[in-house]
Amino acid sequence: MAVGGPAVVRTPHDSTPSSHHERGTAGPEKGAMAFLDDAEATTYRMLKHVLQNHCTTHRLCLPHTLVTCGALVAFVCAQRDETRGALEPRLAHTLADLKHYTRARRSAPPLAPFPVECLAHASEAHLAQSEALFQALAQFLHDRLAAERATLAGAERIVLSLLADLCAMLTHQYAHTAEEVEARIDRLRGPLQSQITAYHRRRDHGGSGASP
């Protein structure tokens, strides 16, 4: 786990999403904005802004944005040493956090609606837009990490929060039930696992490029 950065005094009501023992699930808003400090919260807000701008400008639909953001979560998780050799328990924890964040967003204001009409899903332009979004978000996070405005653990909280915003949109925009949303989150396990493993393999072989 990354250390350093500004020291932060935590209140007793803070929730650490990556702690191994989460305290209860009482309190409807608990965990919705589980950031360590202001810098982390700011990075999240800015990243969310980048995402929303991109989706509106390039008419990227929610399903595509979900896949792109999932790839970003895999990209960040793969850089954390904790995922080495203990990927399955880490992923179980990550998905539990994601469900928790998503639940907490039921009563929070949703993102702006995504364009319903999607370009042909297999079209070159659409794939390019998904990739451009990934690159923009990854670059932004990279810069914040480099400027020490976020830690890797924080980056994971941030991208998970972003993914939770998108998962919540399944309910807000597509009227999915809570059970359907959680089932969808469960189905992320396989893709996340293979993407993280692929990133590990790529890094072991000297590659360092960020791509979905």
Interacting residue ranges for Zn ion, rule: CB under 5 A: 61, 64, 118
CB of 113 to Zn ion, least distance (A): 14
CB of 140 to Zn ion, least distance (A): 22
Residue 167, SS3 per DSSP: helix
**Amino acid identity of 130?**
S
Instruction: Give the integer Cα–Cα distance in Å for 71 and 212.
Output: 6
CB of 64 to Zn ion, least distance (A): 4
Structure tokens at 177: 């039930």
CB of 127 to Zn ion, least distance (A): 9
CB of 118 to Zn ion, least distance (A): 3
Report the residue number, 58 or 106, with the smaller CB distance to Zn ion.
58
Q: Which residues contact 68 (CB under 8 A, 6 or more apart)?
A: 60, 130, 131, 133, 134, 137, 212
Closest of 43, 49, 211 to residue 130, by C-alpha: 211
Closest of 137, 113, 107, 83 to residue 32, by C-alpha: 107
Instruction: Give the integer Cα–Cα distance in Å for 148 and 17.
Output: 20
Do 129 and 135 touch, CB atoms closer than 8 A?
A: no
Report the residue number, 158 or 170, with the smaller CB distance to Zn ion.
170
CB of 168 to Zn ion, least distance (A): 18
Instruction: Give the integer Cα–Cα distance in Å for 98 and 196.
Output: 17
Report the residue number, 107 or 123, with the smaller CB distance to Zn ion.
123
Give the CB-side neighbour count of residue 54, counting CA atoms within 13 A: 22
DSSP letters spanning 74-92 = HHHHHHSGGGSS-HHHHHH
Report the residue number, 121 or 203, with the smaller CB distance to Zn ion.
121
Report the residue number, 54 or 64, with the smaller CB distance to Zn ion.
64
Report the residue number, 30 or 64, with the smaller CB distance to Zn ion.
64
